[in-house]
Structure 1
Amino acid sequence: MTADDRYKLFGVYVSEDVFDALADYLYEAAGVVDYESYFDPAESTVPVGDPGADATDKLVSDIVTEFADLYDEAAFETAREVESDAFVLADLAADPQTVANARERFQAAATIQETDLRTIHTAILSAYLSRASAREIEL
C-alpha cells in the first residue's frame, strides 16, 4: 500500500521506437534527460512532486481516460511485427488506483486482440504519444 503522497511504479514493455518517443515526451514534459535510468528499479514507489513521476502520472491518467479512443487508433498489426526480443521495459509512475485501472484496460485489450501485453503496451502508448506530439504538452 502506498501513501497519498507516493506514486506506484509499474513497467510496460514497448518497442524501442516507442521507448524513444516516451523518452522525448518526458524530456519535453519534465526535463528528464536520461529516462532509461530515471526511476530506481529497486524502489516500488516515487514521491508525488517528482517531475518525471508527475509527467508519467499524467500520461497514465490520460491513457486510462482516453483508452477507448486510443484502442481504436492503435496500430496493433504494426506492434505485432516487432521481434519478441526487441521490446524494452519502460517504467512509469502513477497513482496506485490509476495503475490498477491501466492494468485492467491493457489486459482486456490483450484478451480482445488475442495477443500479449507487449503488443498492447506498444500500440496504445504509440497512439497516445502520436497524439501528444501533435499537441502541446500540458501538465
Structure 2
Amino acid sequence: MTSDDRYKLFGVYASPSVFDALEAVLYEEAGVVDYADYFEPTVSSVPVGDPGADATAQLVADLVADFADLYDAADFEAARAVDPEAFELAQLAADPETVARARERFQAAATIQETDSRTVHTAILTAALDEADDPE
C-alpha cells in the first residue's frame, strides 16, 4: 500500500521509438538523463516530489483523462507491426487510483482490439505523446 506522499510504480511495454520519446519527455520536463535506470526495479513506490515521478504521474493522469480520445487516435496496426522482441519495459509512476484506472483502460482496450498489452501500451502512448507534441 502506498501513502499519499508516494506514487506507485507500474510497467508498460513500449516500442523502442515510444521508449525514446518517453525518455525525451522526462529529460525535458524533469532532467532525467537515463530513463532506463531512473526507477529502481526493486521498489514498488517512489516519493511524490521526485522530478521523474512527478513528470510520469502527470503523463499518466493525462492519459487516463483522455483515454477515449487517445484510443480513437491510436494506430493499433502500426503497434502490431513492431517486432515482439523489441518492446522495452518502461516504468511509470502515478497515484495508486490512477494506476488502477490506467490498467483497467489498457486491459479493456486489449480485449476490444483482441491483442496483447504491448500493442495497446505502444499504440496509446504513441497517441498521447503525439498529442503532447501537437496539442492542436
TM-score, normalization by structure 2? 0.98
User: Identity percentage over the alignment?
Assistant: 70
Residue 59 of structure 1: how far off its partner (Å)? 0.3
Residue 23 of structure 1: how far off its partner (Å)? 0.3
Q: Which amino acid aligns with 1:37?
A: D
Q: Which amino acid aligns with 1:45?
A: S
RMSD of aligned residue pairs (Cα, Å): 0.6
- Paired with 1:33 and 1:85, the residues of 2 have a C-alpha distance of 25
Q: Which amino acid aligns with 2:121?
A: H
Residue correspondences, number: 135
- Paired with 1:19 and 1:133, the residues of 2 have a C-alpha distance of 15
Residue in structure 1 matched with residue 29 of structure 2 by the alignment? 29
C-alpha deviations, 1:94-114, integer Å up to 9, x for none? 000000000000000000000
- Paired with 1:134 and 1:29, the residues of 2 have a C-alpha distance of 16
Q: Which amino acid aligns with 1:78?
A: A
- Paired with 1:128 and 1:29, the residues of 2 have a C-alpha distance of 16
Q: Secondary structure at the match of 1:82?
A: coil
Residue 134 of structure 1: how far off its partner (Å)? 2.0
Runs of 4+ residues over 3 Å off in structure 1: none
Q: Secondary structure at the match of 2:85?
A: helix
TM-score, normalization by structure 1? 0.96
Q: Secondary structure at the match of 1:97?
A: helix
- Paired with 2:133 and 2:22, the residues of 1 have a C-alpha distance of 10
Q: Secondary structure at the match of 1:39?
A: coil
Q: Which amino acid aligns with 1:61?
A: A
Residue 67 of structure 1: how far off its partner (Å)? 0.1
Q: Which amino acid aligns with 1:58?
A: Q
Residue in structure 2 matched with residue 54 of structure 1 by the alignment? 54
Gaps of at least 5 residues in structure 1 are none
